Amino acid sequence: MKQDIDKLLVVGFIKHVEEATWLLLIVVMPKKNKKLRICVDFRKFNVVIKKDPYPLPFTNEVINTIVGHEVYTFLDGFYGYHQISIILKN
């Protein structure tokens, strides 16, 4: 677990803090392959953050919106934000 935390520190995903005004509960759980999984309870965090006024739509909402159009274009974060176009057929 220390190696995983050190990796997160090195890449800047987490940082060391001397004093925290609030903390999240962290639980370490064993996986089936005997490795450890770090789980974070975000419920207290979700109470204090500002809600997104423009949340991402559900998949069925997107599909209902594109019905009747010939082409649907989107940016895919998994592939480095390359533009992908899908030709829709009726």
Model confidence at 82, in pLDDT bands (50, 70, 90)?
A: low
Verdict on whether the full-model pTM lies above 0.75: no
Alpha carbons 87 and 71: distance in angstroms, whole number = 5
More confident residue, 80 or 2: 2
Task: Report CA Rg, the chain.
Answer: 20
Spatial separation of the C-alpha atoms in residues 5 and 11, rounded to whole Å: 10
Model confidence at 76: pLDDT above 80: no
Please choose, from the candidates 70, 75, 65, 63, the residue with its C-alpha nearest in 3D space to the C-alpha of residue 88: 70
Q: Residue 13 pLDDT more than 80?
A: yes
Token look-up 């919106």 returns: 65
Q: Across residues 30-40, what is the average pLDDT?
A: 88
pLDDT for 54 beyond 60: yes
Distance between start and end Cα atoms, the chain: 51
